[in-house]
Amino acid sequence: MSVIVAAGTHVLCRELYHREQQQLLSGGGGIYSSSVQRRYLWVDPRNGGHRNKIVRKEFRAGAFWSDLARPEAIEMEPIDDCDQLDQALQRANELSQPILIDWMAAWCRKCIYLKPKLEKLAAEYDKKIKVYFVDVNKVPRTLVKRGNISKMPTIQIWKDGEMKAEVIGGHKAWLVIEEVREMIEKFI
């Protein structure tokens, strides 16, 4: 039995065609099974003669897709002033769920690099948590003081109207995302 791993249905079809010299699979999903008989001819160097052998090969190919109903990334919503923060906290309170706030700056390379990773994380926790961002250079200082921000990027989780935990992301992005994931799991 052969196992073929392919990135998409077109690659899977091409691999099956080249390996088994069969017709291309249709582009739809599902499973394709076949049993193929081939005649092989080879030279056996020990005996110096030709040998014929009929080989029966069986293969099964499966096509698997991720959940298409769930988005791959969810764009973070901006918070521009204290009133928007209060509204976000009130909505979260009504839904009994926390919010995640990424305090960042447009000039901060680590912040910029982290943003798409946080948007993918937001898709993982789509119905459980809402994710926002605050550009500290474009908001009033009162909002930055309310978040008690001293370094960037700072990712905070807020629940019941107050900040519960934070991760200061000055190190590798994958480590920050893992710390944020652990923080989210504590409060959902």
Q: What is the CATH number of domain 77-187?
A: 3.40.30.10
Average pLDDT of span 4-14: 49
Q: In which band, very low, low, confident or very high, does the pLDDT at 173 lie, cut at 50, 70 and 90?
A: confident
Cβ-defined contacts of 167-174 (< 8 Å, 24+): 169/110, 169/111, 169/114, 170/110, 173/110, 173/113, 173/114, 173/117, 174/117
- pLDDT at position 121 is 95
Q: How many other CB atoms are there within 10 angstroms of residue 153's CB atom?
A: 25
Q: What is the reported pTM?
A: 0.64
- pLDDT at position 174 is 87
| Distance, first Cα to last Cα, the chain | 44
Residue of 85, 108, 180, 184 with catalytic role? 108
- pLDDT at position 170 is 80
- Does 111 participate in catalysis according to the annotation? yes
Predicted confidence (pLDDT) at residue 169 exceeds the cutoff of 80? yes
What is d(CA 162, CA 99) in angstroms, rounded to the nearest whole number? 10
User: How distant, in Å, are the alpha carbons of 43, 58, 133 from that of 12?
Assistant: 32, 16, 41
- pLDDT at position 29 is 42
- Does 108 participate in catalysis according to the annotation? yes
Predicted confidence (pLDDT) at residue 4 exceeds the cutoff of 90? no
User: Which candidate, 126, 183, 188, 130, places its Cα nearest to that of 154?
Assistant: 183
In tens, the pLDDT along 76-90 reads 999 999 999 999 999
Predicted confidence (pLDDT) at residue 26 exceeds the cutoff of 50? no
Predicted confidence (pLDDT) at residue 66 exceeds the cutoff of 80? no
Predicted confidence (pLDDT) at residue 72 exceeds the cutoff of 70? yes
Q: In which band, very low, low, confident or very high, does the pLDDT at 70 lie, cut at 50, 70 and 90?
A: confident
Does 127 or 12 have the greater pLDDT score? 127
Q: Dihedral of the CA atoms 98, 100, 101, 104 (nearest 10)?
A: 170
Tell me phi and psi for residue 136, to 5 degrees: -65, -20
In tens, the pLDDT along 95-113 reads 999 999 999 999 999 999 9
Q: What is the CA radius of gyration of the chain?
A: 27
User: How distant, in Å, are the alpha carbons of 19, 20, 31 from that of 51?
Assistant: 22, 21, 35
Q: What is the 3-state secondary structure (H, E, C) of 14-40?
A: HHHHHHHCCCCCCCCCEEEEEEEEEEE
**For residues 94 and 154, is the Cβ–Cβ distance under 8 A?**
no
Average model confidence (pLDDT) across the chain: 78
Instruction: Write out the residue limits of the CATH 3.40.30.10 domain(s) in the chain.
Output: 77-187
Average pLDDT of span 11-17: 50
Here the tokens at position 53 are: 């052998």
Position 108, amino acid: C
Residue of 16, 111, 177, 184 with catalytic role? 111
